[in-house]
Amino acid sequence: MIKILINPFEKYSENKLLIVGIIATIIGVFLGLLFNGIYDGVLDMHPVKDISITEIIYSLFINFIIIGIILFLLGKFINPKTRFIDVLSTIMIAKIPVYLLTITNFKGFNYELGLEIQNKLIQNQMNNLSVLLLSKLILITILSLIVLVWTISLLYNGFKIATNLKSSKHVFLFGISIITAEIFSKIIISHFL
Amino acid sequence: MQPKLPIQCPSCEGSLSVTQLSCTNCTTSVSGNFSLPILLQISAEEQNFILQFFLMSGSLKEMANKMGNSYPTVRNKLDDIIQKINNLNS
């Protein structure tokens, strides 16, 4: 069961993965709308006060285009037999944990926590956090870290299977590509939204 | 239980070669130094994979369906075996 959550790419066909990816993306859009979360990066989501469905779809579209192109080009460099459908299913499946993270913004929980922390920083009171505030912060941090590790694991495992990745040099390039895609996503999405 | 043909020396991990062949019908023995064919120098699992690939008329898609693995997983396995055989040839 754990293997399916971390590496479904070994067993399942690209068609099945793509269908699951598409369904997950649709659910992700609605989760983003329901819990006011925007997917402005490849690896993360940010809670906001309010968001429209157009903004969510746009941010996801930009995400997929950027990470898809970067990973596909890297994939072709590593292994000319890399197929785009395998890269696409990887990035769609890897986004699933991020969609789940939107639930932390239930009734604006995560967004308001961010505002409280921001206020404490501005007032230079970061060493004077209440137990409740600290507990909320720790909870969100732990959940965010779990999602981050899970997303990166899925991306890596999917990309490894799609390209038959072996050398540490290529793993390093994969890491650089993810960071590059994250930076480009943030810049483009924040510029147009 | 079917005994496995050893291909690697258990002492120094070098490649094994055939030095004697016998006829089970008339007990004639032939001695010499014959290197194992390339296909016998890979593991039993890899030999089985190649045989299945041949029996599936070279269709990786059908192999993926039969093995219960994804297409890229099967393709990667094939590429790894090709690399291994190329290394043995060189």
pLDDT > 70 fraction of chain A, expressed in percent and rounded: 99
Q: What is the pLDDT of residue B58?
A: 92
- The distance of B81 to chain A (nearest Cα, Å) reads 13
Asked if B72 lies within 8 A of A13 by C-beta distance, the reply is no
Please say whether the beta carbons of A33 and A6 come within 8 A: no
Q: Which two tokens stand for residue A40?
A: 């402005």
Asked if B70 lies within 8 A of A81 by C-beta distance, the reply is no
By CA distance, what is B76's nearest residue in A? A164
Q: What is the pLDDT of residue A92?
A: 96
Give the closest of B68, B69, B72 to A162, CB-based.
B72
Strand locations in chain B (E): 17-22, 29-35
Q: How far is CA B80 from CA A73, A88, A124, in A?
A: 22, 24, 58
Over residues A37-46, the mean pLDDT reads 88
Show residues of chain A in contact with B66, CB under 8 Å.
none
pLDDT greater at residue B16 or residue B76: B76
Asked if A164 lies within 8 A of B76 by C-beta distance, the reply is yes
Asked if A161 lies within 8 A of B64 by C-beta distance, the reply is no
Asked if B79 lies within 8 A of A81 by C-beta distance, the reply is yes
Q: What confidence tens digit (pLDDT) does each residue in A82-111 have?
A: 999 999 999 999 999 999 999 999 988 899
Q: How far is CA A24 from CA A31, A104, A144, B3, in A?
A: 10, 18, 19, 49
Show residues of chain A in contact with B69, CB under 8 Å.
10-11
Over residues A25-49, the mean pLDDT reads 91
Task: Pick the closest to residue A79 from A175, A159, A18 (CA basis).
Answer: A159
Asked if A11 lies within 8 A of B71 by C-beta distance, the reply is no
Q: What confidence tens digit (pLDDT) does each residue in B38-66 have?
A: 888 888 899 999 999 999 999 999 999 98
Q: What is the pLDDT of residue A193?
A: 66
Show residues of chain B in contact with A9, CB under 8 Å.
70, 72-73
Q: What confidence tens digit (pLDDT) does each residue in B24-33 have?
A: 889 899 998 8
Average pLDDT over chain A, rounded to an integer: 92
Q: What is the DSSP letter of B36?
A: P
Please say whether the beta carbons of A51 and A36 come within 8 A: yes
pLDDT greater at residue A19 or residue A41: A19
- The distance of A13 to chain B (nearest Cα, Å) reads 5
SS3 A28: helix
